[in-house]
């Protein structure tokens, strides 16, 4: 826990802006941190799918003697895919003096209002945003690790990790993204039973520009130029396109969002809990805690392209 005091933060005049690529489109699309569209669990480890297969199709060759005879039943075995919630925690602590001295200005002194008049509220808001980007990155790229004891941190298995190590993945071999590569992944997904019900492609900035260059068509116009591809019509349905800064630059994720949701192990009945901590000195303290993971359903419904060029 880092104490916020008069030596660590300063008050300035001017409009407040958050800078950097801190968008969380994937987390927002699956319901965010408020528990909307989420699933609840009563234990850290939870099931994400119970997959089974029917085997390859075959043309029956059954004669009348076999029809009336007692046959041998087929058995269709089921498996179970698991994931885990992990601990997200942000501490907030602001000294009483720092909280009180919001009118003390640093930098250029000019007419105007200081936009932050409650330092604790600002730090709490920023801590929540930091937790959101941590969740976004974890839900995308985390690697499964169960907490075997109290000293072992759990980590949820991200959907990109599950898809890349699973059924549908195409290694681009360090070449540029092309329609042929994306078509190869979509065909692989279709062959392995992906449903394409609400399919969205997530990519970083470089691959987003590559997609617009591949699929974009700009009508001639004297005043408007350029393209921003947001949907791609494919042989298996419409594919939404979303820029997501936390997707690795060399990777593309194709996910069926009908089967993806956050999972929370409630803390005092809350998906994300904020509580004040005991005041034992000259500062105000609080903490934000969430036990959260991702349920991506059958990994066979999603896919990835990896090892794309990034420059």
Tens digit of each residue's pLDDT (9 = 90 or more) over 185-196: 999 999 999 999
- The answer to whether 24 and 136 have CB atoms below 8 angstroms apart is yes
**Average pLDDT of span 11-39:** 80
What are the Cα distances from residue 23, in Å, to 20, 84, 114, 130, 207?
9, 24, 26, 11, 17
Band of residue 12 on the pLDDT scale cut at 50, 70, 90: low
Q: 200 in helix, strand or coil?
A: strand
Band of residue 11 on the pLDDT scale cut at 50, 70, 90: low
pLDDT value of residue 33: 85
Task: Please report whether residue 260 resides in a domain.
Answer: yes
* Residue 82, beta-bridge partner list: 47
Task: Please report whether residue 129 resides in a domain.
Answer: yes
Considering only 47-61, 105-119, 205-219, which range has the smallest mean pLDDT? Answer: 105-119
Q: Quick check: 240 pLDDT over 60? A: yes
- Number of domain units in the chain: 1
Tens digit of each residue's pLDDT (9 = 90 or more) over 27-49: 999 998 876 778 999 999 999 99
Give me the chain's average pLDDT, please. Answer: 90
Give burial (CB, 10 Å; 0-12/13-18/19+) of 52. Answer: exposed
Q: What ranges in 216-263 are assigned the alpha helix state H?
A: none
Give burial (CB, 10 Å; 0-12/13-18/19+) of 113. Answer: exposed
Task: Please report whether residue 53 resides in a domain.
Answer: no
pLDDT value of residue 70: 86
> Would strands 86-95 and 283-295 be described as parallel, antiparallel, or unpaired?
antiparallel
> Would strands 39-40 and 261-264 be described as parallel, antiparallel, or unpaired?
parallel
Sign (positive or negative) of CA dihedral 46, 202, 270, 148: positive
Task: Please report whether residue 72 resides in a domain.
Answer: no
Q: Can you tell me the distance from the alpha carbon of 186 to that of 160, in angstroms, rounded to the nearest whole number?
A: 16
Tens digit of each residue's pLDDT (9 = 90 or more) over 56-97: 889 989 889 988 998 888 888 899 999 999 999 999 999 998
pLDDT value of residue 16: 64
**Average pLDDT of span 293-307:** 97
The DSSP call for residue 208 is H
Count of CA atoms in the C-beta half-sphere (13 A) of 61: 1
Task: Please report whether residue 294 resides in a domain.
Answer: yes
Task: Please report whether residue 75 resides in a domain.
Answer: no
* Residue whose pair of structure tokens reads 């660590």 in the numeric block: 8
> Which domain range does residue 284 map to?
25-47+81-102+116-218+227-308
Band of residue 110 on the pLDDT scale cut at 50, 70, 90: low
Task: Please report whether residue 244 resides in a domain.
Answer: yes
pLDDT value of residue 9: 72
Considering only 41-55, 139-153, 295-309, which range has the smallest mean pLDDT? Answer: 41-55
Structure tokens at 309: 């060029």
Task: Please report whether residue 5 resides in a domain.
Answer: no
């Amino acid at each position: 826990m880092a104490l916020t005091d008069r030596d660590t933060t300063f008050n300035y005049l001017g409009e407040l802006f958050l800078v950097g690529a801190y968008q969380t489109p994937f987390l927002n699309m699956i319901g965010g941190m408020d528990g909307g569209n989420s699933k609840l669990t009563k234990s850290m480890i939870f099931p994400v799918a119970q997959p089974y297969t029917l085997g390859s199709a075959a043309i029956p060759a059954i004669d009348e003697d076999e029809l009336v005879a007692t046959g041998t039943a087929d058995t269709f075995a089921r498996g179970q895919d698991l994931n885990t919630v992990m601990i997200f925690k942000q501490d907030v602590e602001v000294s009483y003096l720092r909280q009180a001295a919001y009118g003390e200005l640093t930098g250029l002194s000019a007419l105007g209002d200081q936009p932050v008049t409650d330092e604790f509220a600002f730090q709490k808001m920023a801590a929540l945003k930091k937790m959101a980007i941590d969740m976004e990155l974890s839900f995308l790229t985390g690697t499964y690790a169960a907490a075997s004891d109290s000293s072992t941190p759990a980590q949820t298995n991200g959907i990109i990790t599950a898809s890349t190590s699973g059924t549908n993945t195409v290694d681009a071999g360090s070449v540029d993204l092309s329609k042929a590569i994306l078509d190869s992944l979509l065909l692989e997904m279709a062959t392995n039973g992906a449903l394409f019900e609400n399919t969205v492609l997530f990519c970083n900035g470089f691959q987003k520009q590559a997609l617009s260059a591949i699929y974009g068509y700009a009508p001639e116009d004297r005043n408007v130029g350029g393209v921003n591809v947001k949907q791609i019509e494919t042989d298996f349905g419409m594919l939404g396109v979303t820029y997501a800064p936390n997707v690795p630059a060399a990777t593309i994720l194709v996910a069926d969002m009908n089967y993806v949701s956050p999972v929370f192990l409630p803390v005092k009945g809350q998906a994300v809990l904020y509580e004040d901590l005991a005041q034992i000195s000259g500062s105000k303290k609080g903490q934000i805690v969430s036990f959260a993971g991702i349920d991506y359903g059958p990994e066979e419904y999603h896919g990835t392209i990896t090892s794309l060029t990034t420059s």
